[in-house]
Amino acid sequence: MQPDPPAGAPLTPSIVFGLLQAHQQTAALRAAIQLDVFRAIGQGSGDVSSIARHSKASERGIRILCDFLVINGLLVKEDGHYRHTPASAAFLDPTSPSCLASVAHFLSRPEVLEPYGHLADVVRMGRTTLPGEGTVEPENPVWVEFAQSMAPMMAPLTGPLGAIVLGGRTGPMRVLDIAAGHGLFGIEIAKQNPQAHVTGLDWAPVLRVALDNAKKAGVQDRYDMLPGSAFEVDFGGPYDAVLLTNFLHHFDVDTCVGLLKKVRGSLKPGGIAATLEFVPNDDRVSPPMPAAFAMTMLGTTVAGDAYTFRELADMHKQAGYAEVTCHPVPMSPHTIVKAHT
Amino acid sequence: MQPDPPAGAPLTPSIVFGLLQAHQQTAALRAAIQLDVFRAIGQGSGDVSSIARHSKASERGIRILCDFLVINGLLVKEDGHYRHTPASAAFLDPTSPSCLASVAHFLSRPEVLEPYGHLADVVRMGRTTLPGEGTVEPENPVWVEFAQSMAPMMAPLTGPLGAIVLGGRTGPMRVLDIAAGHGLFGIEIAKQNPQAHVTGLDWAPVLRVALDNAKKAGVQDRYDMLPGSAFEVDFGGPYDAVLLTNFLHHFDVDTCVGLLKKVRGSLKPGGIAATLEFVPNDDRVSPPMPAAFAMTMLGTTVAGDAYTFRELADMHKQAGYAEVTCHPVPMSPHTIVKAHT
The residue among B47 and B330 whose pLDDT is bigger is B47
At A8, the pLDDT band (50, 70, 90 cuts) reads low
Q: Is B208 exposed, middle or buried (0-12, 13-18, 19+ CB in 10 A)?
A: middle
HEC profile of A289-322? HHHHHHHHHHHHCCCCCCCCHHHHHHHHHHCCCC
Q: Nearest-CA distance from B322 to chain A in Å? A: 30
pLDDT for res B150: 84
Q: Alpha-carbon Rg of chain B, whole angstroms?
A: 22
Say if CB B214 and CB B184 are below 8 A apart. no
Chain A, nearest residue to B67 by Cα: A285
Residue B294 in contact with partner chain A when CB distance is under 8 A: yes
- Say how far apart CA B22 and CA B184 lie, in whole Å: 33
- Is the pLDDT score of A223 beyond 90? yes
Average pLDDT over residues A13-29: 95
A117-174: per-residue pLDDT in tens?
A: 999 999 999 999 888 887 777 777 888 888 888 888 888 899 999 999 999 899 999 9
Looking at the predicted structure, is the pLDDT value of residue A1 above 80? no
On the question of pLDDT at B293 being above 70, the answer is yes
Of B11, B77, B103, the CB nearest to A90: B11
CA distances from B142 to A6, B4, B111, B146, B300 (A): 37, 37, 8, 6, 11
d(CA B172, CA B137) in angstroms, rounded, equals 36
DSSP codes of every residue in B284-313: SS-SHHHHHHHHHHHHH-SS-----HHHHH
Alpha carbon A321 to its chain's center: 26
- For residues B181 and A266, give the distance between their C-alpha atoms in angstroms, rounded to a whole number: 69
Identity of residue A284: R
**Does B161 lie at the interface with A, CB-CB under 8 angstroms?**
no
pLDDT of residue A38: 98
Burial of A122-159, coded b for 16+ CB within 10 Å and e otherwise, reads: bbbebbbbbeebbbbbeebebbbbbbbbbbbbbebbbe
Buried b (16+ CB within 10 A) or exposed e, A75-87: bbbeeebbebbeb
Is the peptide bond preceding residue A287 cis, with omega within 30 degrees of 0? Answer: yes
Put simply, whether A125 touches B (Cβ < 8 Å) is yes
How big is chain A, counted in residues? 341
C-alpha separations of B56 from A159, B32, B33, B48 in Å: 46, 12, 13, 12
Q: What number of helices (H) and strands (E) belong to chain A?
A: 16, 9
N- to C-terminal Cα separation, chain A = 39
In degrees rounded to 5, what are phi and psi of residue A98? -100, 20
**What percentage of chain B's residues is helix, strand, coil (to nearest 5)?**
50, 15, 35
Q: Which helix (H) or strand (E) holds B59?
A: helix B59-71
Does residue A38 belong to the interface with chain B, where contact is any CB pair within 8 Å? no
Q: What are phi and psi of A276, to 5 degrees?
A: -110, 125
Q: What percent of chain B has pLDDT over 70?
A: 97
Q: How many Å apart are CA B157 and CA B274, to the nearest integer?
A: 13
DSSP reduced 3-state for A267: strand
Work out the pLDDT band at A106, boundaries 50, 70, 90.
confident
Q: Which residue in B61, B71, B291 is closest to A288 by CB distance?
A: B71
Strands (E), chain A: 75-78, 81-84, 173-178, 196-202, 223-227, 239-245, 267-278, 323-328, 334-340
Kindly report the pTM of this predicted structure: 0.94
Helix or strand (DSSP H, E) at B104: helix B101-107
* CA-based nearest residue in chain B for residue A62: B123
**Residue contact B15–A87, C-beta within 8 A:** yes
| Inter-residue contact B158 to B225 (CB < 8 Å) | no
Q: How far is A277 from chain B (nearest CA, A)?
A: 16
From CA B255, how far away is CA B259, in angstroms rounded?
A: 6
3-state secondary structure of B281: coil
Contact A174, A199 (CB under 8 A): yes
Q: Decide if pLDDT at B2 tops 50.
A: no
Name the residue among A86, A116, A111, A95 with its Cα closest to residue A22. Answer: A116
State the amino acid at position B179 in one-letter form: A
Please tell me the distance from the alpha carbon of residue B56 to that of residue B77, in angstroms, as a whole number. Answer: 21
What is the chain A residue with the closest CA to B294? Answer: A64
Query: Which pLDDT band holds residue A9 (cuts at 50, 70, 90)?
Result: low
* B-contacting residues in A 241-280 (Cβ below 8 Å): none
ipTM of the complex: 0.94
What is the phi/psi pair of residue A292, to 5°? -70, -20
pLDDT at A7: 56
State the nearest Cα–Cα gap between A257 and chain B, in angstroms. Answer: 19
- pLDDT (tens digit, 9 = 90+) per residue, A147-156? 888 888 888 8
* Confidence grade of residue B10 (pLDDT, cut at 50, 70, 90): confident
* CB within 8 Å: B1 and A73: yes
**A:129-158 residues touching chain B, CB 8 A cutoff:** 153
Q: What is the pLDDT of residue B1?
A: 42
The yes-or-no verdict on residue B136 having pLDDT over 80 is no
User: Following CA atoms B31, B152, B247, B27 in sequence, which dihedral angle do they give, to the nearest 10 degrees?
Assistant: -10
Distances (CA, A) of A141 to A152, A184, A202, B320: 19, 19, 12, 63
Question: CA B141, CA B110: separation in Å to the nearest integer?
Answer: 12
Least confident residue range of A126-130, A219-223, A244-248, B84-88: A126-130
User: In this predicted structure, what is the pLDDT of residue A3?
Assistant: 47
Would you say residue B107 has pLDDT above 70? yes
Residues of B in contact with A294 (CB under 8 A): 64, 67-68
Q: Which residue type, as a one-letter code, is found at position A244?
A: L
Quickly count: other Cβ atoms within 10 Å of residue A310's Cβ.
Answer: 12
How large a percentage of chain A has pLDDT more than 90? 82
Q: Rounded to the nearest 5°, which phi and psi values hold at A126?
A: 80, 20
SS3 for A271-284 is EEEEEEEECCCCCC
Confidence tier at A109 by pLDDT (50, 70, 90): confident
Amino acid at A8: G
pLDDT at B20 over 70: yes
Mutate to test the interface with B, among A34, A149, A295 (most CBs of B within 10 A): A295
